[in-house]
Amino acid sequence: MRFDTNRTPLGVAVLGSTGSIGRSTLEVLRRQRDHFRVVALTGGRREEQLAEQVAEWRPAFAGLAAGNGGSRLPTGPAVLVEAATLPEVDIVVNAVVGAAGLDATIAALHAGKRVALANKETLVMAGDLVAHAACAGGGELVPVDSEHSAVLQCVTGRESALARLILTCSGGPFREWPAERVRNASVDEALRHPTWAMGNKITVDCATLANKALEVIEAHHLFGLPYDDLEVVIHPQSIVHAFVELCDGSIIAQLGFPSMELPILYALTHPARLPDAGVRRFDPVAAGPLTFEPVRHDVFRALSAGIAAGRSGGISPAVFNAANEEAVAAFLTGAIPFGRISEVIEGVLDSHLTAAATSLDIVREADRAARVHARKLLSRQ
Ligand code: NAD
Ligand code: MG
């Protein structure tokens, strides 16, 4: 699906519309009503928030994907696939958090839709199968993640010259903390991200740097580069979103004040552009000095563990993702100290057997088994 102003308004399904990315998506769509109309909305559990969005947008379909009955709206995981595959839908914004978004991404790509993907866990778990679904169904995957949007904006039209990527990483709230203090950081401290306001799970991922491992694997699948050509640098100001090196050594970067609204709009319009008065205009002086530092791999071990899982391939990235989701959920309830998250990830990855990820059933089984193992480790303090 190419964005074509003669064909608009295009139909959009927003999965996870009540979350941080979902609400930013609706903010963007509110300014672009001539070009897009909201056809479907899904929330998780909370009906009131979704009901407010339904009252504003009057979508043809709305449902609660993590609900369990007792609502006037359709409930259960199947609402994601239903919303994603409606015939009136041209673009699916997948803003669900975690593995729950997998089936909808695959189904939408099989149905020939564009998937504007924020739900990076999906691509990490089953990158090859997602690519296969796009090929088979004629669908198209476009990243929403700011680093990957930056790369896409820099490489579009120059794909064959792409040589290396350097993804930037804010470093999270514990960037400068001594190792022992990081180990015992509280939930409140982990949720205080210095530059971005996001959902709780990804905010914790940014504090452990597991998020950057997910993003390196995501970049591998989106841009087809080997892991040796994917690098990470700490950039505390979050102004440069990625550096793209071309085969002659030229570096192209995309910059902007931290906001997800631009990457969301670009995922809807790529490779075209639409004017958007809502984006804060750039001011290099206000942005201040831009600094870059190496990653402290010894303190933030989830990053190396995740990249190693990516290199190992097969089901390993799905195992990494599942262990991380379980450990982060446990940390958020106060059950484990912050430092335990990366230990559980390493523990689960160290003892799993690798296998090729040739079917969704294999990936789902790897996800399930890794969660069982992670919970066992989590219960053993
Ligand atoms: P969030 O927690 O704010 O929102 C998640 C959404 O998913 C909510 O609508 C929630 O109701 C829904 N949801 C939760 N569990 C569900 C389930 N089991 N089934 C179906 N729906 C469920 O999270 P977010 O910050 O908006 O992040 C969403 C995704 O986007 C994540 O994969 C995250 O890594 C990615 N992402 C977020 C940002 C950001 O700035 N927030 C940036 C880049 C990527
Ligand atoms: Mg990102």
pLDDT tens digits, 72-110: 899 999 999 999 999 999 999 999 999 999 999 999 999
Q: Give the model's pLDDT for residue 227.
A: 98
Mean pLDDT, residues 311-316 taken together: 98
Tokens of 216: 């390196």
Tell me what percent of the residues of the chain surpass a pLDDT of 90: 94
Contacts of 244 (CB under 8 A, 6+ apart): 150, 151, 154, 155, 162, 164, 165, 251, 252, 253
Please choose from 198, 203, 261 the residue to mutate so as to test ligand 1's pocket, defined by most ligand atoms within 8 A of CB.
198
Closest residue by Cα to atom 4, ligand 1, is 19
Average pLDDT value for the chain: 97
Please name the residue whose Cα sits nearest to atom 36 of ligand 1.
Answer: 118
Task: Give yes or no for a cis peptide into 9 (omega within 30° of 0).
Answer: yes
| Binding-site residues, ligand 1, Cβ < 6 A | 16, 18-22, 43-44, 65-66, 95-97, 100, 118-121, 145, 196, 198-199, 201-202, 260
- Hey, what are 314's tokens? 């097969």
CA 130 / ligand 1 centre spacing (Å): 19
Instruction: Please say whether the beta carbons of 61 and 82 come within 8 A.
Output: yes
pLDDT higher than 70, residue 2: no
The yes-or-no verdict on residue 6 having pLDDT over 80 is no
Going from the Cα of 206 to the center of ligand 2, the distance in angstroms, rounded, reads 9
Per-residue confidence at 196, pLDDT binned at 50, 70, 90? confident
Return all residues near 233 (Cβ < 8 A) that are at least 6 apart: 166, 167, 168, 169, 243, 292, 293, 294, 295
